[in-house]
Amino acid sequence: MKVAIYSRGVDIDQQQSLSALLLELNRYDVEIYVFEDLIHKFNLRSAADKKPLIPFRTALDLHNTIDCLISVGGDGTVLDAITLIGDANIPVLGINYGRLGFLASISKDELSAMVEALVHRSYVIDKRTLIHLDANLPVFGMAPFGLNEFAIHKRDTSPMIKIHTYLNGEFLNSYWADGLIVATPTGSTGYNMSCNGPILFPESASFVITPVAPHNLNVRSIVVPDTSIISFEIEGRTDEIICALDARKEIVSKNIQLAVKKEDFSVQFIRLNENSYLSTLRTKLTWGLDKRN
């Protein structure tokens, strides 16, 4: 079995848990690839007593024989890992060192059970839709896709903007707002939910369009099929806007041509059998919590 480990930087006091993960993998004679920065930061070469660690820097250093990429950190680290592997079709498993851990759902106290499930393949694969951004100017480099959402924002000091939105070329609405979110089902529990958008199940094959602080009482979120192409034209008193894909953002001209659609490939998450989507909603977001029950 071949496993890759990625983190954008765990705290120095978490080195013990990282070493414990390596030791658990070594118990099963797993071939381990580790993000190069982690090897240098924690001197991890000495932690592998059976096989030397194989460093990797980009997705080009990995290949489709990798059975799993383990993301060590929080949900933001998982999002980074997805842009790293791209369309390599490598399943992702997140170990949570952050706060919420909605995507990185495995506790650091479950390392032994997690590795055992990996080795014996007693887990479930969840496929999640990605959103793809097309633009007439280069934005977001070689990774113009995201797991959670694409968002348009006004600059911090500018007044609200007007976002003309089209669905498959047909006019949908003009949003007078601070911004607009197009979220995937996975992202519906993130920024979209905080702006009063609905929660979508991962299998719903939809996008949800949610305005940010709209200046209309009758403007609400709308759910559209993920086969749609959603395009935008922006008006505003300033020349620039902010485009965001998950945690990444770029400042661009308001005259840029933007359109989003479903990405051609998806991402696979490894889920232990006992962790269903509904149980995650209840435990992470306290869904349905009522002191009277």
Q: What is the mean pLDDT of each run of 10 residues along the chain (293 residues)?
A: 85 73 88 86 60 84 85 90 91 84 80 89 93 95 95 90 97 97 96 95 96 92 98 94 95 96 96 78 79 71
pLDDT of 112 = 86
Structural domains in the chain, sorted by start: 2-129+266-285 (3.40.50.10330), 131-262 (2.60.200.30)
pLDDT of 194 = 94
Q: Can you give 223-287 as a three-state secondary structure string? A: EEECCCCEEEEEECCCCEEEEEECCEEEEEECCCCEEEEECCCCEEEEEECCCCHHHHHHHHHCC
- d(C-alpha 190, C-alpha 170), whole Å: 28
The reported pTM is 0.91
Name the nearest CA neighbour of 208 among 196, 198, 195: 198
To the nearest 10°, the Cα dihedral for 268, 274, 277, 279? -160
pLDDT of 293 = 65
List the catalytic residues: 75
Size (the chain), residues = 293
CA-angle at 117, arms to 115 and 119, nearest 5°: 70
- d(C-alpha 228, C-alpha 252), whole Å: 24
pLDDT of 12 = 66
pLDDT of 279 = 81
